[in-house]
Amino acid sequence: SSHEYLLVEKKGEKGCVGLVTLNRPKALNALCEPMMVEMASVLRDLDNDPTVAAMVITGGEKAFVAGGDIKFMVTQQFSDFLRPNFLVQWNGITQLRKPTIAAVNGFALGGGCELAMMCDIILAGEKAK
C-alpha cells in the first residue's frame, strides 16, 4: 500500500523486520499531525502482523526528525493542541508490543528526540545530533 509520509518495507533474511522510513526530505522529516497519524497506523499494523518480529524507524541522512512542522503549526489554534485525541496516536507508539528501534542519523530535534526516546532501542549514527 502507498503512504504519503512514510516508506514501509519488510527487511531481513525472513522479512521479519518492519522498516519505517520517514519520507519528508524537503521538510527534514518535520512532524505534522497527518504524518503522526500515518506513522501510528503503520506501526500498529506491523505490531499486529505475525510475520514481523521488530520495527525500525529511521529518517534521512540530514535528519531523523527535525522537530515539529512549524508551517503546519501556524495553521492551528492553541486549543487544537489541547484536543483529547491530539496525542492519542503519538502515545500509542509507547504501547507497541514488539521491539521498536530508532535508527538515528542527522538531527533528532524536539519531537524527533521524543520519538527516538519512545522506542525501546536507539541506534545513533556518527552524524546523529
Closest CA to 127 of 104, 102, 101, 105: 105
Q: Give the mean pLDDT of 26-31.
A: 91
pLDDT tens track for 70-129: 676 567 665 665 565 656 777 788 899 999 999 999 999 988 999 999 999 999 999 998
Any idea which fold 6-124 has? Answer: 2-enoyl-CoA Hydratase; Chain A, domain 1 (3.90.226)
pLDDT class of 1 with cuts at 50, 70, 90:
low
pTM (two decimals): 0.87
For the chain, what are the domain ranges?
Answer: 6-124
C-alpha to C-alpha distance for 108 and 106, rounded to whole angstroms: 7
* Three-state secondary-structure class, residue 112: helix
